[in-house]
Amino acid sequence: MFNKILIANRGEIAIRVIRACKELGIKTVAVYSKADSMSLHRMLADEAVCIGEAASIDSYLYIPNIISAAQITGAEAIHPGYGFLSENQNFVEICEAHDIKFIGPSLNTMMNMSDKAMAKRIAREASVPVLPGSEGAVKDVEDAKTIAKEVGFPVIIKASFGGGGRGMRIARDLKELSHYFEIAQNEALSAFGNPDVYIEKFVENPKHIEVQVLGDGKGKALYLYERDCSVQRKHQKLIEESPCPVLDDAQREDICKRAASLAAMIKYEGAGTLEFLYDKGQFFFMEMNTRLQVEHGVSEMVCNQDLVKWQIKIAAGEELTIDQEDIKINGHAIECRINAEDPENNFMPDAGKAEQLIFPGGPNVRIDSFIYSGYEIPPYYDSMVAKFLVWGNDREEAINRMKRVLSEFKVEGFSTTADFHAKVMDNKTFTNGKYTTKFLEENV
């Protein structure tokens, strides 16, 4: 086992990892920017190293200072958390070159799964259902028309090397396809430096369902069931729950087994997530996130496992001592992401000093946060300030518990999304479980 781990992140996830390390008897090193000198993760770690200025590019993304921080403190491994460098192949390579264990999948796995066409090929090989569409980049508009006729309209044109919605166009007929194809290529070129686009069947009103997997890097992989993450705003998840309220046991077992078989096939190491679109009983693989997810806690609650501890143990070369039969869904868990945003003002990010802070508590409530009374939220980073997680014997109890938790939460100094979440908990489309990724635009 490692003696000391550096956590290359900030906020609640840095604290989450520090807590797991403490319980495993591992010393921790926090890194922080000048703007985070009063951050809780700095105070909770055994050691802390300032790595740069407030801007992420000069600190949490600045690889030389992070590697140097590991070297001067004698940290043997780096946990990247999520975001920042967690899926940065260059960082993984540099860690390897300096004999520092990157807690996550191998460079090769990360490279393969970040290439969308390659990830789709691997998924097909593992019998994971994928969206029908082109095999890689589409040559020209005539090629695009042929493929669109095969898969059926509507189709979505996406940048091969893109993300974040840029370079994406939906075409509902041949005329629209001809019109948008070149526009999408131009957008892809200007945004990502490469004009390649590919075509997929467009799913109008899907659920976003993802499967949590855990692999030992040697070919053994388990699933910790699925999460429904369909309550989103501009592709940012706001509420996640496990299990998904509309799947039956047979659907659940089938997709989870397929996801785990993919993870086993690629000898996946650590925690990962396969994201799917779900519509009318069918799953379509979107991508694999080769890291810990923000919402990993809901899976931990229903499966009674600690994913971060498993990540660390596996990275240290320990055996994955649990088997699939040991992982059962127990009850229901919901997570609400509390953001420093103003829902009344188009979710505009807010910042300020947290005053009169009261966090909820009680049975089966988990608060993952880094703020405290008197803490000034820096405006440079993600707006999420806390995750409220609740567990219930069933979904109804979990929803009622979340309502109670949200009502107990008090903070002054900035706006939060807590009241917005309380309204969602009362919304009939949410409570009946049939909500989709269009929930927000249709209900709020």
Enumerate the active-site residues: 291
Residue 361 Cα distances to 358, 404, 412, 415, angstroms = 9, 10, 18, 21
- Window contacting another protein (CB under 8 A); options: 64-72, 155-163, 212-220, 281-289: 64-72
CB 163 within 8 A of CB 130: no
Stretch 10-39: interaction string toward another protein, x if CB under 8 A: ------------------------x-----
Contact at 8 Å (CB) between 300 and 391?
A: no
In the bound complex, what is the minimum distance in angstroms from residue 46's beta carbon to another protein?
14
CB nearer another protein, residue 29 or residue 255 = 29
Which of 60/409 has CB closer to another protein? 60
Judged by beta carbon, residue 35 or residue 209, the one nearer another protein is 35
Which CB, 32 or 180, lies closer to another protein? Answer: 32
Nearer to another protein among residue 34 and residue 166 (C-beta)? 34
Q: How far is the CB of 71 from another protein (least distance, A)?
A: 7
Report the C-alpha dihedral over residues 86, 91, 97, 102, rounded to 10 degrees: -10
Among the listed residues 131, 109, 124, 295, the one whose alpha carbon sits nearest the alpha carbon of residue 218: 109
Give me the least distance between CB of 378 and another protein, in Å please.
Answer: 16
Query: Which 3 state secondary structure label does DSSP give 96?
Result: helix
Smallest CA-to-CA distance from 307 within 86, 44, 29, 16 is with 16
Residue 49 Cβ vs another protein, minimum distance, rounded to whole Å: 5
Sites for another protein among residues 143-172 (CB under 8 A):
none
Per rule CB under 8 A, is residue 183 in the interface with another protein? no
Query: Is residue 429 a contact point for another protein (CB under 8 A)?
Result: no
Among 50-58, 253-261, 365-373, 412-420, which window interacts with another protein (CB under 8 A)? 50-58
Q: Please give the Cα distance from 224 to 285 (Å, whole number).
A: 17
Exactly one of 2, 62, 268, 409 binds another protein (CB under 8 A); which one? Answer: 62
Q: How many residues does the chain have?
A: 444
By CB under 8 A, the residues from 66 to 125 that bind another protein are 66-69, 71-73, 90, 93-94, 97-98
Q: Which stretch binds another protein (CB under 8 A): 45-53, 142-150, 213-221, 236-244?
A: 45-53
**Residue 134: which residues within 8 A CB-CB, separation 6 or more?**
143, 144, 147, 198, 199, 200
Check residue 379 for interaction with another protein (CB under 8 A): no
**Closest separation between CB of residue 41 and another protein, Å?**
15
Q: Select 37 or 393, whichever has its Cβ closest to another protein.
A: 37
Q: Any contact of residue 3 with another protein (CB under 8 A)?
A: no
In sign, the C-alpha dihedral spanning 427, 428, 429, 434 is positive
Q: Which is nearer to another protein, 65 or 289 (CB)?
A: 65
Number of residues this chain uses to bind another protein (CB under 8 A): 22
- How many Å apart are CA 36 and CA 361, to the nearest integer? 26
| Contact of 437 with 206, CB cutoff 8 Å | yes
Pairing assessment for the beta strands 77-79 and 155-159 based on DSSP bridges: unpaired
**In this structure, what token pair is assigned to residue 68?**
């140097």
Residue 401 to residue 367: CA distance in whole angstroms: 13
**Out of 11, 52, 162, 167, which residue is the one contacting another protein (CB under 8 A)?**
52
**CA proximity to 291, closest of 51, 92, 127:** 92
50 binding another protein? (CB under 8 A): yes
Q: Nearest approach, Cβ of 98 to another protein (angstroms)?
A: 7
- On whether the CB atoms of residues 436 and 356 are closer than 8 A, the answer is no
Minimum CB–partner distance for residue 67 and another protein (Å): 5
Binding region for another protein (CB under 8 A) = 34, 49-52, 59, 62-69, 71-73, 90, 93-94, 97-98
